[in-house]
Amino acid sequence: MPFLSGTPPFRPERPVFALILGNTLLSTVPGVSGAGMSPEKTVLTPVLDSELITHGVIRSRKWKPNTPTGCPTPAVITRAMTSLLGLLPLFVNAGLTGQPVVPCFDMYGEPGRDPREGDAVPRARDLYTRGEQLGRFLSQSSDFLLLGECVPGGTTTALCVLRGLGIPARVSSSFVDNPVALKEAICARVRERIKAEGATDPLDIIRIGGDPMLAVAAGMASSFQGDTVLAGGTQMLAVAAVLRALGRKVPAVVTTVYVRDDPSAGFASMAEAIGARVFYVDPGFGALGHAGLARYCIGEVKEGIGAGGAMFLARIMGRSEEEIRETILSTAAGY
């Protein structure tokens, strides 16, 4: 397996790596998200991941950056790659339940609400506009935008939005066993609400059933002037689908082979339906000799907080596959 599928045409000189943090209260519904030690604690993951990426350690709480089975958070991979590149990411607060411990470009949004009970993102349109403002600001100095995200529970809101846009979507999960039935039940309720309103505008669909990240990411990608790559799994396909429905250029998407190979999601055919070019990163975690990272190969975690995109960026900026793998291994071994 090659490290990178295809031959990316990008030659970033002044890249910006933006990581959008957001919450949806759906992640607190038992069974929806595996991104945290317990359903209530999933909402903390974006704040802890951004602390880990920035400082290399978590000091704000007692916390192990691993799943209960010892699988490292993808923030470890992102941290390894940003250290290797000497690149400082830009954290964007799209709407979090708590205050971050690292400074963020703040959209002054709110966490997404449970879409079964009412509008999930009442200010979706405003967040999109603010995302556009940031994309324009970044265009002034940067020539390449890599856009990642961390939204626990976000694959469920992505499913709601993809289906709302008429795409026969299935979505991935950070669980080995994707809680498909629960996601489908939530999604069915959202479809009822979309139908009742007759909503077709993608920003209305985010308002009804999405999360704040989706609105901000679509805005940023829509206005950024240079090359844009969406870094993530099915959540970033939802962003691509929103952009297509808005009549905007659909950026390329980069993710890991662990997302591609998730039989419950059907990533490649969804990407094709949306018209998004996809690059897959295969870091070969099975052969690294790290039991936790090897669990990515059996479908645990798979991707998150721009990890696939971070490896992709390191590669297109000239780092060797060996350097990349060694840096991830030595970083993961430190936790």
106 vs 321, beta carbon nearer a second copy: 106
CB 189 within 8 A of CB 217: no
215 vs 237, beta carbon nearer a second copy: 215
| Minimum CB distance to a second copy, residue 257 (Å) | 29
Q: How far apart are CA 97 and CA 111, in angstroms?
A: 6
Determine the residue type at 266. G
| Minimum CB distance to a second copy, residue 209 (Å) | 24
Q: How far apart are CA 306 and CA 281, in angstroms?
A: 12
| Minimum CB distance to a second copy, residue 143 (Å) | 8
Angle between helices 124-139 and 202-209 (to 10 degrees): 120
38 vs 140, beta carbon nearer a second copy: 140
Q: β-strand 227-231 against 252-256: which pairing, if any?
A: parallel
15 vs 251, beta carbon nearer a second copy: 15
7 vs 99, beta carbon nearer a second copy: 99
Greatest pairwise CA separation for the chain in angstroms: 54
| Minimum CB distance to a second copy, residue 100 (Å) | 7
Lookup: tokens for 199? 């909503």
130 vs 244, beta carbon nearer a second copy: 130
CB 332 within 8 A of CB 80: yes
Lookup: tokens for 284? 């070969």
| Minimum CB distance to a second copy, residue 137 (Å) | 5
| Minimum CB distance to a second copy, residue 316 (Å) | 16
Which positions lie near a second copy, rule CB under 8 A? Answer: 14, 16, 54, 87-88, 90, 93, 99-100, 102-108, 130, 133-134, 136-137, 140-142
Classify burial at 1, counting beta carbons within 10 Å of its beta carbon; exposed 0-12, middle 13-18, buried 19 or more: exposed
